[in-house]
Structure 1
């Protein structure tokens, strides 16, 4: 990866960002509707949190899409990244409260085959999309695009956590597993929110990158 990109390449990357966020918005609206509906039917705090995260991912993608409709997208980096951070914080607070209520035994958690299905689908779709978006943001030197990719990465963590919680409940009747999964989701969301607010966007794919690539990216940021 070169330290600088041409004007034509930048235009291409901007177009790619818009396509990525358009797909992200469409997919996550559908995912969010299904997950929240399934979570409400099953009284699953983890599944509802997963669905709400989908809607926050939509807001995050909309923020990035808006940024890249501006004449000078780089100018809007900081407010866009901070907006993504606020979305993470909101998710963490809601899911924590919902999980504590569930742990208190207010409502039993039911089985949710639909929730299991949407979690599995997310585990298939999101890794490739997050990798593609982070690579694009890295080449552009855009922290907001990379932060949005970390939203997708969080969705992968959430999908696995929710799936484990739902399976433990379905197979063994461990209703508490759902609330524990939800609290893990909240902790991950809070951590990502703090990083986004600080503008400290580390690569979620560090194992796929070498030291030379990291040094080149740092040189690009400085230039």
Structure 2
């Protein structure tokens, strides 16, 4: 007989799978229109979505591990996924910084940021829902790792807000550096997520900058 706890873990796993699929779709669309319209912020947002896919796969494996035995240590796959995620976020940050310099030198301007407005608006609504859905399940299960994952989903909301703001500013004012300001915001959050991935490898459960030891002495 399936218990209430098993149903909650199944729901948590389903949410992690949804996160993976959604980010793949978001990444493809964002990179396509980011490249087509010449907006670095949207293109970088798309790359971030694919990094989130790797992070999401690691979370899915974590949920399976916790479901089977909450006392188990992180699997080798989880640790590898976190390390790849952390490095990828740092590489993304470096690439976006190079992009800012290049656009400043060439005085490049996006053709339009309308797709940035549309994609970021959808992302904000989706990620807010995911944040609260994950947190609700985490609290019911008294699972700090799942609650931490829910809190970190909020970072995706912040990144979407940054993209929306920069896209709106450019669309309304044609301010030349609006897109680059959005990229700067993405760099800040990418560095934060990269740092957190490595903190998790060290045996800590993080809530977007606030970490605690997973196994206190």
TM-score (norm. length: structure 1): 0.76
Q: Distance in 2 between matches of 1:98 and 1:128?
A: 32
Partner of residue 95, structure 1? 96
Partner of residue 154, structure 2? 153
Q: Distance in 2 between matches of 1:131 and 1:165?
A: 26
Q: Distance in 2 between matches of 1:89 and 1:150?
A: 21
Structure 1 contact 85–193 (Cα < 8 Å) conserved: yes
After the TM superposition, which residues 18-57 of structure 1 pair with which residues of structure 2 at under 5 Å, given as runs?
18-57=13-52
CA separation of 1:221 and 1:16: change in aligned 2, threshold 3 A: farther
Q: Distance in 2 between matches of 1:137 and 1:153?
A: 15
1:64 to 52, 59, 80: 59
After the TM superposition, which residues 202-217 of structure 1 pair with which residues of structure 2 at under 5 Å, given as runs?
202-203=206-207
Structure 2 contact 148–207 (Cα < 8 Å) conserved: no
CA deviations over 1:183-206 (Å, ceiling 9, x no partner): 1111111123213322365546x9
Shift of 1:84: 3.8
**Structure showing greater relative contact order (alpha-carbon pairs closer than 8 Å, 6 or more residues apart):** 1
Gaps of 5+ in 2: none
Q: Which range moved further: 79-88 or 56-65?
A: 79-88
CA separation of 1:148 and 1:108: change in aligned 2, threshold 3 A: same
Gaps of 5+ in 1: 1-7, 207-217
Query: Root-mean-square deviation (CA), in Å?
Result: 3.1
In the TM superposition, structure 1's runs of 4+ consecutive aligned residues that sit over 6 Å from their partners are none
Shift of 1:160: 1.1
1:141 to 141, 144, 155: 144
